[in-house]
């Protein structure tokens, strides 16, 4: 069967529409069918004015779309000759199951492309003024999913305490368990840590403290309910550079105003 449609696996970046790539915007504008994650901002969805739009969220408390149903929708749309955009938060291939979707498309004989996005693993710390690597503090970093212990425990166990920056995505609800796991493996209680919520969005907030206080971070303060916003956890010496982030934020706030 010859498939006349096409699928673009597109990264939406951390949230701010201005952080989309030029190619991502072009694909959105030309899309016939848009399947987007629940964390994608409405302003980004609006860039696909001519498309049928479906939110395929997997967020807690929202209607859940299974991975299999998402893949079926992509394949069926392409088989019907549609230009399909699968819009994913961050980068499609960084803890986004984009690889699974690519394999499903290839297996069904559907032509597709991957348009990378700015992953929150790097952009969220950067927007808070935290470099994931910094000379004299960290020469490398590792990114783990905090969704389940079986995802982060093997990686945490393999990393020597303090040897690199630890970036945890989707780990807010398990932040206390993640902190205990790191402490049990020899990380110093006073290791700097940070949480960046809603990176690049108007309600972006940053918590900084010590590793042994990570589990007790009061994310509910100021209408910031735990688990309701996308969050990135940073553990390592680079997190103490967040004071620079405060200066950077205030300097850039007036740019373009």
Domain residue limits, the chain: 6-118, 121-252
Clarify whether 212 is annotated catalytic: no
Enumerate helices (H) and strands (E) in the chain, giving the number of each.
8, 10
When mean pLDDT is compared across 89-93, 110-114, 202-206, 225-229, the lowest value belongs to: 225-229
How many CA atoms are closer than 13 Å to the CA of 221, on its beta-carbon side? 8
Q: How far apart are CA 27 and CA 221, in angstroms?
A: 39
Please state which architecture CATH assigns to domain 6-118: 3-Layer(aba) Sandwich (3.40)
Clarify whether 82 is annotated catalytic: no
Q: Report yes or no: 11 and 119 within 8 Å, Cβ to Cβ.
A: yes
Compute the CA torsion angle 51, 52, 53, 58 (nearest 10 deg): -130
- pLDDT at position 251, please? 42
- pLDDT at position 255, please? 38
Could you say which of 16, 37, 82, 88 is catalytic? Answer: 37
Q: How far apart are CA 201 and CA 17, in angstroms?
A: 9
Q: How far apart are CA 173 and CA 193, in angstroms?
A: 16
- pLDDT at position 57, please? 81
Q: Of all helices (H) and strands (E), which one includes residue 176?
A: helix 175-184
- pLDDT at position 97, please? 93
Q: Report yes or no: 90 and 170 within 8 Å, Cβ to Cβ.
A: no
Over the stretch 24-38, which tens digit does the pLDDT of each residue have? 999 999 999 999 999
Could you say which of 16, 23, 32, 58 is catalytic? Answer: 58
Name every residue whose Cβ is closer than 8 Å to that of residue 253 and which is 6 or more positions away in sequence.
none
Q: How far apart are CA 98 and CA 86, in angstroms?
A: 9
Over the stretch 79-101, which tens digit does the pLDDT of each residue have? 999 999 999 999 999 998 999 99
- pLDDT at position 257, please? 32
The answer regarding whether domain 121-252 maps to CATH 3.30.950.10 reads yes
CB count within 10 Å of CB 207 equals: 20
* Closest listed residue to residue 40, CA positions, set 3, 6, 13, 78: 13
Q: Tell me phi and psi for residue 43, to 5 degrees.
A: -65, -30
Question: Do the bridges between strand 83-88 and strand 52-55 make them parallel or antiparallel, or are there none, so unpaired?
Answer: unpaired
- The CA-CA-CA angle for residues 250, 256, 257, to 5°, reads 75
Task: Write down the pTM of the prediction.
Answer: 0.87
Q: How far apart are CA 45 and CA 43, in angstroms?
A: 6
């Amino acid at each position: 069967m010859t498939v006349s449609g096409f699928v673009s696996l597109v990264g939406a970046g951390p949230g701010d529409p201005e952080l989309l790539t030029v190619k991502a915007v072009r694909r959105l504008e030309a899309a016939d069918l848009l399947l987007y994650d629940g964390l994608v901002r409405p302003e980004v969805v609006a860039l696909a004015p001519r498309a049928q739009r479906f939110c395929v969220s997997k967020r807690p408390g929202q209607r859940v779309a299974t991975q299999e149903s998402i893949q079926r929708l992509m394949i069926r749309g392409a088989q019907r000759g549609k230009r399909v955009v699968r819009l994913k938060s961050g980068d499609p291939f960084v803890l986004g199951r984009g690889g699974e979707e690519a394999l499903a498309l290839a297996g069904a004989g559907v032509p597709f492309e991957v348009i990378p996005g700015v992953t929150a693993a790097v952009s969220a710390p950067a927007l808070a003024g935290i470099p994931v690597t910094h000379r004299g503090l960290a020469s490398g970093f590792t990114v783990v999913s905090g969704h389940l212990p079986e995802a982060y425990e093997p990686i945490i166990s393999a990393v020597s305490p303090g040897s690199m920056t630890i970036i945890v995505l989707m780990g807010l609800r398990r932040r206390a368990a993640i902190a205990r796991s790191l402490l049990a493996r020899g990380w110093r209680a006073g290791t700097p840590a940070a949480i960046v919520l809603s990176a690049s969005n108007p309600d972006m907030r940053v918590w900084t403290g010590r590793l042994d206080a990570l589990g007790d971070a009061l994310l509910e303060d100021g209408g910031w309910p735990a688990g309701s916003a996308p969050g990135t956890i940073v553990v390592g010496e680079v997190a103490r550079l967040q004071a620079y982030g405060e200066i950077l934020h205030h300097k850039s706030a007036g740019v373009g105003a």
